[in-house]
Chain A
Amino acid sequence: MNVALSIARKDLQIEWRTRMLLARVVPFALLVMVLFAVALDSEPLVLRAAAGLVWLAMLFSTMLVVQRAFDIETADAAIDTLLACAVHPARVFFGKALALFVQLFALVVVLVTAAIVLYGVTVSGSRVVLLVTVVISATSGLALVGTLYGAVVANMNGRDSLLPLLALPVLAPLLIGASRATEAAFGSQTIDMANGWAWVGLLGVYGIVFGAAGSAAFSPLTESDS
């Protein structure tokens, strides 16, 4: 597991030095949030849709972060060198997923804050516990699926458009689950807390399934032909 941690640290160090998240992804995600509000043009409607909009903005931003996470590996065939060091591919998978999780978690904190400031969402009392649990479980799912599909399209021509086409349908259950559970945490009229926790259960199953699938699939995905 130390190997996975070193890989995560390496990715986060590269991110820290280039500050791609701060310079491009966070502004992009905030812009999306502003554009949603402009497009819907109604405060009650925006408040009602806030949870779904946060996760939609997360999904789009995840595509950018994942793209970046694999561009640094395929440049100069860095990942081949890594695998040549007899590192198990599953550890590379979990290491990269962990680094992605940390970045996406920072992003979702910004977006939830934006929802509170821009959309007028309120979170209080026991709802905070639900919100934190949803954010952690959904962000784990995003990081695992993102890493898996990032490896699928890594080094391919046209990967910028392929990644959303492949990953977004797979992320549909996560979008549904995270949006509904967050809606409950935001104090929606239509979904109560118990339903919110039921959705967290689905997010947990989702994360486990794709964690297992990713660690199994990473070996054939990163295999080199030379």
Chain B
Amino acid sequence: MSIYTATAAVPGAAARTGTRTTRVIGVLALVTTAFVVVSAFFLTPADSVQGDSVRIMYAHVPTAWVAYLAFITTAVASGFSLARRHRTLGFDRVAGASGEVGVLFMAMTLLTGSLWGRLTWGTFWQWDPRLTTTLFLFITYVGYLAVRRIDTDPRQRARRSAVIALLAVLEIPLVHFSVVLWRSLHQEASVLSPDGDVRLDDLMLFTLFAGVAAFTLIFAWLVIHRQRLTALADIRQTVGLDAAIALRRSETSGVVK
């Protein structure tokens, strides 16, 4: 926490959000990502049915995993933020940072998924329960971020966005169940089952797990930096206000007519 107090004491001083821990996480993320890129493109074989398009999986599955991890983190942090709402905004910052990263990764999931769908199914989109639920979830968190951007009292915003994040968790099973029921009523035969038919050899599986590890590290790195940045921005706002008030006071006391 020393960087916050240092910045608070010296307005305008250069503040950094990196620490030894984040540097270690960053380096690990770079190394694993490099391995995944090399392995996904050059070392792993093409699939017998899907050909080279199976390589999208090494990005698609990890982004989906990180998006869900991010939304769970947002929900848990929001729960704590509501339970301790009279103390600090720390949990609220973590929830917000994680929500932002989650939306980013879910957008990548939808993008890589629809590219893969175009190659494998022949269409960018299918009204499959999992896809539809993911899309609704994505829009829900876009709304969550819209509320977080509103310029209002930080504590009120923290409470309301925490409620939205917890309601979103409630929404997932309801949306999923209703879409499953909806599709089961008039399901048309599809060329390939949504899961495709992928047999994974050992290296493919290892690359997939390495991808999950790499994206999780990137997630952690981004969230830590983002929430520290928000904390600094909050401090800057408070310090800036104090400085402005002090300036006005000195103006009026200095002027004698």
Chain B residues with CB under 8 Å of A158's CB are 150
Q: Which of A170, A177, A202 contacts B171 (CB 8 A)?
A: A170
A220 interface hit (Cβ, 8 Å): yes
How many Å lie between the Cα of A114 and that of B39 in the bound state?
61
Q: How many pairs, one residue from A and one from B, have CB atoms within 8 Å of each other in the complex?
A: 85
Interface segment among B41-49, B63-71, B181-189, B225-233: the answer is B181-189
Whether A165 and B142, one on each chain, are in contact in the complex, defined by CB atoms closer than 8 angstroms, is yes
| Category for how many chain B residues contact A | 35 or more
How many Å lie between the Cα of A139 and that of B162 in the bound state?
26
How many Å lie between the Cα of A157 and that of B150 in the bound state?
7
B128-165 vs A: 1/0 string, CB under 8 Å?
00000000110110111011001111011001101110
Q: Could you tell me the dominant secondary structure of chain B's interface residues?
A: helix
Whether B160 and A173, one on each chain, are in contact in the complex, defined by CB atoms closer than 8 angstroms, is no
Whether B147 and A169, one on each chain, are in contact in the complex, defined by CB atoms closer than 8 angstroms, is no
Which residues of chain A (31-85) have a CB below 8 Å from chain B? Answer: none
Chain A residues with CB under 8 Å of B159's CB are 220-221, 223
Q: Which of B139, B146, B150, B160 contacts A169 (CB 8 A)?
A: B139
Chain B residues with CB under 8 Å of A8's CB are none
A→B interface (CB under 8 Å): 148, 152-153, 156-158, 162, 165-166, 169-170, 172-173, 176-177, 180, 190-191, 195, 198-199, 202, 205-206, 209-210, 213, 217, 220-221, 223, 225
Q: A172-B175, A225-B156 are in contact. List 11 more A-B contacts (CB 8 A).
A: A152-B147, A157-B151, A165-B143, A166-B164, A169-B143, A190-B185, A195-B185, A198-B181, A217-B163, A220-B82, A225-B153
